[in-house]
């Protein structure tokens, strides 16, 4: 009930008006009075919302109570009118009730009778207001839902990423124009169809199926790259994730497609550019080194010791540049997928032995001991031999570079379930904790007084990681500053390793 209850008494008799007012004021209600129909209607019109109950005398000179009642109903049919009948005529009361009066009371009445009648009317008014409030609330929230829905639909339709939502039966329930544009399937064909019957990419269908059948309750999304179109010029990243209900049950799946063709193209341009520049740089520098070789070997005449010294340092510099170029070429080869494409069953100890032997001279000049131990029963993996040599050459060369004279390097080959585990440990200067997360980054080199003198391109470990990745392996590093570093690589064993000895 609003703060202030307002009751209007319309009666031509002053006695009645004042009597009613007195009785009702006692309950703390506000009482307004009018001495005829016109005045009463005037008051009601001014504030129909605020009026709670109207006490209306039926027998009045001028406008009759019946007419006033009709007009009140016109203003607001919800207004509660209690008619007062001067003479106890049931007929007029019945007629008033038919015309919409809420109740009637006949003169003479006791204050309690009046109060009771008004109270009942007020209760009714309260219920009416509450119902009104609830109805408005409901309308508003329905409208909110509708607005929210339309807002979401607009957002989804405006997105440049493709969206596809399936229910648990793989039936497509929502999609957007970007989705049909990216996959070149008309939207009308998608909506309402079963996803497997809409000519979608098979990898996408597999992901949707998978996401609908995920068993564990954690958040899982399937991310994959799709190549669309015959020319293979459209690359999409597709993320598919299950939609769960409150109780964790999978009720559908959402797939979002993002066009990454431009990134792919840029990446390829970058790789091509690097390859082109590297080749162009390599030729002249190789020639310069060739010329230096000739002079250093005194084939172009005698050289003084000082000249030879200068020239051999010049050769060291060209060698450094050639190594960098080789690393860049390896990297661009890996990126274009050309590096690791000749996988064959290989026997890892052979590769490692070969690399250890090749590096032994370098190690010996620094008085480092290099040990190779294998406890693996079947160290066969399916790999690219050249890349494998690259990995161990890089790791061993790092170990040699960063281990002070007299230290030791150990290469271990062990079995670990279905993996072959190779570790390369040294007793070198180690890597700072804050640097460890960066050592596989391209061009990253640890900067310290100890490493300043060491030549390197900052590409070696990044290449190692790329090669390990391309062989579905993993690489980890553990290091203690000043004590040494261990690189550990896991390779999945060749399935038929027993046969390929």
Neighbouring C-beta atoms of residue 158, cutoff 10 Å: 10
Residue range at the interface with other proteins (CB under 8 A); choices 114-122, 135-143, 206-214, 280-288: 280-288
Q: Does 353 bind other proteins (CB under 8 A)?
A: no
Closest to other proteins by CB, 234 vs 322, is: 322
Q: Min. distance of Cβ 315 from other proteins in angstroms?
A: 9
Contacts 24+ apart (CB under 8 A), 92-97: 92/58, 92/66, 95/66, 96/58, 96/65, 96/66, 96/69
Closest to other proteins by CB, 285 vs 378, is: 285
Which of the residues 322 through 341 are near other proteins (CB under 8 A)?
A: 322, 326
Closest to other proteins by CB, 73 vs 326, is: 326
Q: Does 437 bind other proteins (CB under 8 A)?
A: no
Q: Does 343 bind other proteins (CB under 8 A)?
A: no
For the chain, the first-to-last Cα distance in angstroms comes to 93
Pairing of strands 234-244, 222-228: antiparallel
> What is the sign of the dihedral through the CA atoms of 449, 451, 454 and 458?
negative
Residues forming beta bridges with residue 259, ordered by sequence position? 236
- Identify the residue among 300, 454, 455, 498 touching other proteins (CB under 8 A): 300
Q: How many CA atoms lie within 13 A of 226 on its CB side?
A: 24
Q: Does 154 bind other proteins (CB under 8 A)?
A: no
Closest CA to 349 of 412, 300, 291: 412
Q: Does 286 bind other proteins (CB under 8 A)?
A: yes
- Identify the residue among 289, 327, 426, 494 touching other proteins (CB under 8 A): 289
Residue range at the interface with other proteins (CB under 8 A); choices 240-248, 284-292, 303-311, 422-430: 284-292
In sequence order, what are the residues at sequence separation of 6 or more whose Cβ sits closer than 8 angstroms to the Cβ of residue 390? 330, 463, 464, 467
Q: Which two tokens stand for residue 322?
A: 């050639």
Which of the residues 355 through 384 are near other proteins (CB under 8 A)?
A: 358
User: Is-cis flag, bond preceding 108, omega within 30?
Assistant: yes
- H-state helical runs in 297-368: 305-335, 348-365
Strand positions, DSSP E, 159-262: 162-167, 172-175, 222-228, 234-244, 250-259
Q: Min. distance of Cβ 323 from other proteins in angstroms?
A: 11
Residue range at the interface with other proteins (CB under 8 A); choices 145-153, 262-270, 275-283, 440-448: 275-283
Q: Does 294 bind other proteins (CB under 8 A)?
A: yes
Q: Min. distance of Cβ 247 from other proteins in angstroms?
A: 57
Q: Min. distance of Cβ 286 from other proteins in angstroms?
A: 4
Q: Min. distance of Cβ 288 from other proteins in angstroms?
A: 8
Q: Does 290 bind other proteins (CB under 8 A)?
A: yes
Q: Which residues bind other proteins (CB under 8 A)?
A: 279, 282-283, 286-287, 289-291, 293-294, 297, 299-300, 318, 322, 326, 342, 358, 385-386, 389
């Amino acid at each position: 009930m609003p703060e202030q209850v307002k009751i209007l008494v319309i009666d031509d008799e002053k006695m009645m008006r004042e009597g009613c007012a007195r009785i009702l004021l006692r309950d703390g209600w506000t009482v307004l009075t009018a001495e005829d129909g016109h005045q009463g209607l005037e008051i009601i019109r001014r504030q129909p919302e605020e009026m709670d109950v109207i006490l209306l005398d039926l027998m009045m000179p001028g406008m009759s109570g019946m007419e006033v009642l009709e007009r009140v109903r016109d203003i607001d049919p919800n207004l509660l009118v209690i008619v007062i009948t001067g003479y106890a005529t049931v007929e007029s009361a019945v007629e008033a009730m038919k015309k919409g009066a809420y109740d009637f009371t006949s003169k003479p009445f006791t204050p309690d009778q009046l109060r009771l009648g008004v109270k009942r009317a007020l209760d009714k008014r309260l219920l009416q207001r509450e119902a009104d409030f609830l109805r408005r609330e409901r309308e508003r929230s329905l409208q909110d839902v509708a607005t929210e829905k339309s807002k979401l639909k607009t957002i989804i339709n405006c997105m440049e990423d493709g969206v596809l939502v399936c229910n648990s039966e793989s039936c497509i329930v929502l999609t957007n124009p970007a989705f049909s544009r990216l996959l070149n399937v008309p939207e009308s064909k998608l909506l309402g169809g079963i996803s497997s019957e809409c000519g979608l990419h098979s990898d996408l269908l597999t992901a949707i199926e998978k996401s609908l059948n995920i068993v564990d309750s954690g958040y899982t999304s399937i991310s994959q790259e799709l190549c669309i179109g015959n020319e293979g010029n459209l690359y999409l990243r597709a993320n598919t994730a299950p939609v769960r209900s409150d109780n964790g049950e999978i009720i559908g799946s959402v797939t979002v497609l993002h066009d990454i063709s431009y990134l792919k193209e840029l990446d390829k341009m970058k790789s091509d550019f690097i390859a082109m520049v590297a080749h162009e740089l390599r030729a002249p520098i190789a020639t310069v080194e060739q010329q230096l070789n000739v002079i250093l070997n005194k084939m172009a005449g005698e050289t003084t010791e000082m000249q030879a010294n200068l020239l051999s340092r010049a050769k060291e510099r060209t060698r450094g540049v050639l190594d960098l170029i080789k690393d860049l070429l390896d990297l661009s080869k890996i990126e274009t997928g050309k590096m690791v494409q000749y996988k064959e069953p290989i026997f890892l100890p052979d590769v490692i032995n070969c690399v250890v032997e090749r590096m032994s001279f370098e190690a010996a000049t620094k008085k480092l001991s290099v040990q190779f131990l294998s406890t693996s029963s079947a160290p066969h993996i399916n790999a690219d031999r050249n890349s494998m040599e690259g990995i161990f050459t890089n790791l061993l060369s790092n170990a040699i570079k960063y281990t002070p004279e007299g230290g030791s390097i150990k290469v271990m080959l062990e079995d670990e379930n279905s993996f072959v585990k190779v570790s390369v440990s040294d007793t070198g200067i180690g890597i700072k904790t804050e640097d460890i997360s960066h050592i596989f980054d391209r061009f990253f080199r640890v900067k310290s007084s100890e490493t300043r003198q060491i030549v390197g391109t900052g590409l070696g470990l990044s290449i190692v990681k790329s090669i390990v990745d391309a062989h579905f392996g993993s690489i980890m590093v553990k290091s203690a500053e000043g004590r040494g570093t261990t690189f550990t690589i896991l390779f999945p064993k060749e399935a038929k390793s027993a046969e390929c000895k």
